[in-house]
Structure 1
Amino acid sequence: MLALVAGLVAPVPALAEVRTPGQCAASLDCTAAEIDRMAMADRLEFLRLVQSGPAAGLGAADRWRNIEGVLSFFLDHGLGAPGTWVSHVDAGILEGIERGVALALGRSADDFGNPGSARWADYLTRLHRGELTVRNVHDRAWSEAEQASTEHGAAVAEQVHGIAPTAVERRFFLFSEFYRWTLRNRPVALDLLLVYAALLNPVLVVRRVPFLDWLTDVRESAPSRKGCEIAYAYARLDPVNGAFGTLDLLLAYIPELYEEFEATR
């Protein structure tokens, strides 16, 4: 068991060795432990530099803008301080992206023990080859990579550091899971939107495809930023004691997001 837990994390550099966002983006070898010690503003800068720098050569200069939206939300609300459950999960996601870029570029074969690294490398390789031009194929590959990185970050928080999510964090996380589920299940999501439209918003019957395209566009930060605001508000209210089904989440999440979508047209 100890060996299994130890394998979840890469070696932790000494505190004096913590690098700047620019250094991490250039080297692509900062560990989740280092990223955990970064302020949220530095993580946002780091992700942007990875995209505009090494990832750009793989055609991924804008493929994590939705995560930028999440980081901006955390920054504005003072969430994700180093050492918290949110911080460790976020660090796992960013480490997976960073190492995925390194693997795809052939800089290293070390995934840092993060299952998301290989997933991101596969995603980036396929993207660079032009194999992800079909929307639902692209979104599934992207979501599966982020899911693996996210689950790794949660395992590090809970199994290595013994930190469980708070009730609010757990409910907020449920909404993020719903977002990733939507990316992986586009046809089902469109059917659910049709059910929602029949119940509450007939206009969405004909607008559901462009709306879903906007909502799940990883190259946009506005939908994820707004989605986080809505999800956090619901998470703090603890509706129905946090017991949601997929349709419940849709009914809670979609109305305000659809208003945001219409405002952008």
Structure 2
Amino acid sequence: MLIRRRVALLLSVLVLVTGLAVPAAAEVPRTPGECAAALDCTAADIDLMTMAQRLEFVRAMQSGPAAGLGAHDRWRNIEGVISFFRDHGLGPSGSWVSYVDAGILEGIERGIAIALGRSSDGFGNPGSARWAGYLTRLSRGELTVRSVHDRAWSDAEQASTEHGVALAAAHGQFATPVEQRFFQFSELYRWSLRNRPFALDLLAVYGVLIHPQLFGQRVPFYDWFTDVRESAPSYKGCEIGYGFAQLHPIAGVFGIAGLFLAYVSELFEEYRTATSG
């Protein structure tokens, strides 16, 4: 009992020192529609949602308030990830996956609110300001170059994700070995968005070794894989990444570039299936 009290006290001190805000959830759980309309649900509120409800929440934000900013389809890839969690029974309330996901969605929600001028409060989530900046630039037509757009999107999600990880830790939740390996694939996706030229160079050099057709299709494949407006690539990517994480093949891969090439070899087959006919 004494050890538990000391751990709880330590976590409380860490929250105060780091400035990590952990607002309490509403006494009555908010519905996805209410959260999307008000844009003021906390990560604690979102943690109480099932993955099916979170999917509804993301879609409602896109079709509702975000549409006015030109972002009616900018989180379809996140829809794919949440759909994967839903279909595989991952991320129940209070789990590490749930808190990380809640941090991401809170950042998006508050970013929309800030970009719309409804509030300046980011709820202590560093991703909020990044998403607001992304949405403001998007609405002004400043993100028409694919590499520029993808970097801005990735930077915002990275900040929200890191906040979600810290939020989980503040609640005493840490990734299992499988979850940590799976998390590496989500990091890989954001890396791919930020490093388009380098990744395309890797495909130019090694693509023919992965598949005879990849060299000639590397640009359309990469565009498909990193398109935030599509849910199918992220859903399939989660299936591949989670399968790899369970089998622990990452130990034989060196660096982010090696992980990227190992991932591409599986994902390219899905691309060919999705784009054939």
| TM range, smaller chain | over 0.9
Residue in 2 aligned with 1:165? 175
Structure 2 letter corresponding to 1:187: P
Distance in 2 between residues matched to 1:35 and 1:116, nearest whole Å:
16
Aligned mates of 2:17, 2:47 — CA distance in 1 = 21
Structure 1 range deviating more: 191-200 or 52-61: 191-200
Quote the offset at 1:264 in angstroms. Answer: 2.0
Alpha-carbon distance, 1:198 to partner:
3.5
Q: Hey, what does 2:10 align to over in structure 1? A: none
| CA deviation after TM superposition for structure 1 residue 10, in Å | 4.5
* Matched position secondary structure for 1:11: coil
Residue in structure 1 matched with residue 5 of structure 2 by the alignment: none
- Does the C-alpha gap of structure 1 residues 240 and 138 become closer, same or farther in structure 2, counting only changes over 3 Å? closer
Structure 1, residues 115-169: CA drift from partner, whole Å, max 9, x if none? 00000000000000000000000000000000000000001111x1121100000
- Structure 1 stretches of 5 or more lacking a match? none
* Partner Cα separation in structure 2 for residue 2 and residue 174 of structure 1: 25
SS at match of 2:239: helix
Query: What's the TM-score, normalizing by structure 1?
Result: 0.95
Tell me, yes or no, if structure 1 residue 152 matches structure 2 residue 173. no
2:91 pairs with one of 80, 90, 100: 80
Cα distance in structure 1, aligned partners of 2:219 and 2:76: 21
* Superposed displacement of residue 11, structure 1: 2.3
Task: String of CA shifts for 1:22-80, please: whole Å, max 9, x gaps.
Answer: 00000000000110111110000000000000000000000000000000000000001
Q: Does 1:207 align with 2:217?
A: yes
Residue equivalent to 1:70 = 81
Matched, 1:94 2:94: no
Letter in 1 for 2:16: A
Are 2:23 and 2:43, in contact at CA under 8 Å, matched by a contact in 1? no
Q: Summarize the Cα distance change of 1:230–1:30 in structure 2 as closer, same or farther, 3 Å threshold.
A: same
Looking at structure 1, the residues matched to 172 and 22 of structure 2 have their Cα atoms a distance apart, in angstroms, of 17
Give the structure-2-normalised TM-score.
0.91
In 2, the alpha carbon distance for the partners of 1:2 and 1:90 equals: 19
Taking only aligned residues, the RMSD between alpha carbons, in angstroms, comes to: 1.3
How do 1:2-13 residues align onto structure 2 when only pairs under 5 Å count?
2-5=15-18, 7-13=19-25
* Structure 2: gaps spanning 5 or more residues: 1-13
How do 1:1-265 residues align onto structure 2 when only pairs under 5 Å count? 1-5=14-18, 7-14=19-26, 16-158=27-169, 160-241=170-251, 244-265=254-275
Deviation at 1:261, TM superposition (A): 1.0
Question: Hey, what's the Cα distance between the residues in 2 that align with 1:257 and 1:243?
Answer: 17
Contact 1:235 1:242 in 2 (8 A): no
Q: Structure 1, residues 200-232: CA drift from partner, whole Å, max 9, x if none?
A: 323211110000000000000000000000000
Q: 2:49 & 2:81 partners in 1: Cα distance?
A: 16
Q: Which residue identity lines up with residue 238 of structure 1 in the other structure? A: H
Distance 1:240 1:99 in 2: 35
Q: Is the 8 A contact 1:96 1:120 kept in 2?
A: yes
Matched residue type, 2:189: Y
C-alpha change, 1:75 and 1:180, in structure 2 (3 Å) is same
Taking a change above 3 Å as real, the CA distance of residues 139 and 264 of structure 1, as seen in their structure-2 partners, is: same
Deviation at 1:195, TM superposition (A): 2.5
Deviation beyond 6 Å, 4+ runs, structure 1: none
Q: Which has the larger radius of gyration?
A: 2
Change (3 A) 1:92 1:161: same
Identity %: 69
